Chains A and B, each alone.
Chain A
Amino acid sequence: MADPGHAGGGGHSPLAQFEIHSLIPLQLGGIDVSYTNSALVMTVALLAATLFLTLGMRRHALVPGRWQSMAEMSYEFVANLLRDTVGHEGRAYFPFVFTLFMFVLLGNLLGLVPYSFTFTSHIVVTFTLAIMIFIGVTILGFVKHGLHFFSFFVPPGVSIVLWPLMIPIELISYLSRPISLSVRLFANMTAGHTMLKVFAGFVVSLGVIGGWLPLAFVIALTGLELLIAVLQAYVFTILTCFYIKDALHLH
């Protein structure tokens, strides 16, 4: 994040933070599957989520302590989200949605730690998540409704004359879901982190005399980034809930 040595040195651009380095080079059948810094942060995120939840609930007291109530809050938050959008049938998908939420949230938040790496700022990562959700939800729709699923693309109350126009539009709209889902997360993360770096660069180049203003901006922007990190994880999760709802309740 705020990494003045890099930004002020002149050699590094504000985009240097998004570079992927391989830590442990690995080849598997001619495919590069090296363990990269991105994968490292993902592992940290998984470990952090696991530790946060298991250690938080270790004592499972009736009156929760701070840690336990944080773990319970995150659980309740996603559970309420799922219940509000999908309803009671949504319970079956809670593990998936909760995992997704914790993964994206921790990815966003760990990215704000200085010298860390934001894996959600890579379209590859977010698009993989989004296409996984998209395919899963489509399969879910087919399993639940069979070929009736295609009625999804025919808006009712539209006369048959307009069907040739409406069906492609609805289809495009449906296919745009994984794109909008992944681009939203990726763009927000990339833009925010780039902006932080640029302002951090100003701090160094303006020096002791003029550097205070950009420094104040960096502090304010870090707060904003925290908000966006949580909000984007939330938006990602609630859209997943909406998609599950659509697949379950076609009508």
Chain B
Amino acid sequence: MNQGTEPAPPDDFDARLARARERRRERDAGAAGRSGRLAQSGFGLALRIGVELVAALAVGIGIGLLLDRWLGTTPWLMVLFFLLGGAAGIFNVIRVATGMGGTVGYRRAGKGAAKDNGKDRGPGAGGT
């Protein structure tokens, strides 16, 4: 700062600090956040997508097998939940590939995007 305002250094420093923080936050948000970039870099994405697909399928089959054993309807519920698990896996992959998160309920991706357009920036801007 300029040398003329010597008498009140603490306020001055606090104000400057606040301004610097604000600027930095804006800059980070403007750059889509460090986290966003790394998560969406091809490598990070590649490590995530395959597992998402298989995990949902495995959970679906697991639920199907358990229900079958419980209700004695082998193999029909397993077949049904195999298909549902596959669908859930595809949904997971779509969510990872399009939006940011492994968020359940793609309403989150849709709403998040809508909020992004409405506000200056999404949840990253700090505050929400």
Contact = CB atoms under 8 A, between A and B. Distances in A.
B128 to A, nearest CB: 4
Contact of B55 (A88, A155, A176): A176
B7 interface: no
Contacts of A176: 52, 55-56, 58-59, 85, 88-89, 92
Contacts of A88: 126-128
Contacts, number: 130
Contacts of B38: 231, 234
Nearest to B55: A180
B104 A180 contact: no
B43 interface: yes
A249 B63 CA distance: 28
A83 B107 contact: no
A87 B111 CA distance: 16
A238 interface: yes
Interface in A108-127: none
Contacts of A246: 101, 103-105, 108
Interface in B37-59: 38-39, 43-44, 47-48, 51-52, 54-56, 58-59
Nearest to B108: A246
Interface stretch (A4-12, A164-172, A209-217): A164-172
Contacts of A188: 47
A234 B88 CA distance: 25
Given A84-B33, A86-B123, A184-B47, A242 B84 contact: no
B36 to A, nearest CB: 7
Nearest to B61: A172
A16 interface: no
B107 A242 contact: no
Contacts of A243: 102
Given A80-B28, A177-B102, A157 B107 contact: yes
Nearest to B53: A180
Nearest to A156: B107
Contacts of A245: 101, 103, 123
A234 B52 CA distance: 17
A70 interface: no
B79 to A, nearest CB: 14
A71 interface: no
Interface of B: 28, 33-36, 38-39, 43-44, 47-48, 51-52, 54-56, 58-60, 63, 81, 84-85, 87-89, 91-92, 100-108, 110-111, 123-124, 126-128
